Structure 1
Amino acid sequence: MAATLALFLLFATATAILLLHLVVTAQAFRNQQHGRSRYRVPETLSSSPPYASCVGLFPADLRLLPCFAVSTSSSSSSPQLYDACLKVACAGEQWCALPACGHAFHAVCVDQWLARAAACPICRAAVSISMS
Structure 2
Amino acid sequence: MASQNFEPIHFPDFKDNNKINAKNPLLGSLCLFFVFFTTFLFLYFIYACARRRHHAASTALPEAGLDPASISSLPVSSFAMKPSHGGAECAICLSIFQEGERVKVLPLCRHGFHSDCVDEWLRTRSSCPLCRGCVHRVDSLEAGMWVVPLP
Pair 123,131 (structure 1): closer, same or farther in 2 beyond 3 Å: same
Matches within 5 A, 1:85-124: 85-124=93-132
Structure 1, gaps ≥5 residues long: none
One-letter identity of the residue aligned with 1:118: S
SS of alignment partner, residue 77 of structure 1:
coil
What TM-score do the two structures reach when normalised by structure 1? 0.66
Range moving further from structure 2, 17-26 or 80-89 = 17-26
**1:43-62 correspondence runs (5 A):** 46=60, 54-62=63-71
- Picking from 87, 90, 94, the partner of 1:83 is 90
Residue type of the partner of 2:94?
A: L
The whole-number CA distance in structure 2 between the counterparts of 1:26 and 1:101 is 48
In the alignment, is the contact (CA less than 8 A) between 1:100 and 1:128 conserved in 2? no
Look up the equivalent residue of 1:83 and give its one-letter code. Answer: C
What CA distance in whole angstroms lies between the structure 2 residues aligned with 1:78 and 1:41?
A: 50
Counterpart of 2:141 in structure 1 is 131
How many residues of Structure 1 are paired with residues of Structure 2 in the alignment? 119
Q: Does 1:19 align with 2:37?
A: yes
Q: Determine which structure has more spread, i.e. the larger CA radius of gyration.
A: 2
Amino acid aligned to 1:40: H
With over 3 angstroms needed to count, the CA separation of the structure-2 counterparts of 1:15 and 1:92, relative to structure 1, is same
Deviations 1:76-101 (A, max 9, x none): 43539552032111123221010111
TM-score where L is the length of structure 2: 0.59
Matched residue SS, 1:92: coil
- Work out which structure has the larger RCO, using CA pairs closer than 8 Å and 6 or more positions apart in sequence: 1
Q: Secondary structure at the match of 2:32?
A: helix
Matches within 5 A, 1:31-42: 37-42=51-56
User: Which residues of structure 2 form unaligned runs of 5+?
Assistant: 1-18, 143-151
Name the structure with the higher helix share: 1
CA contact (8 A) 1:82 1:103 kept: no
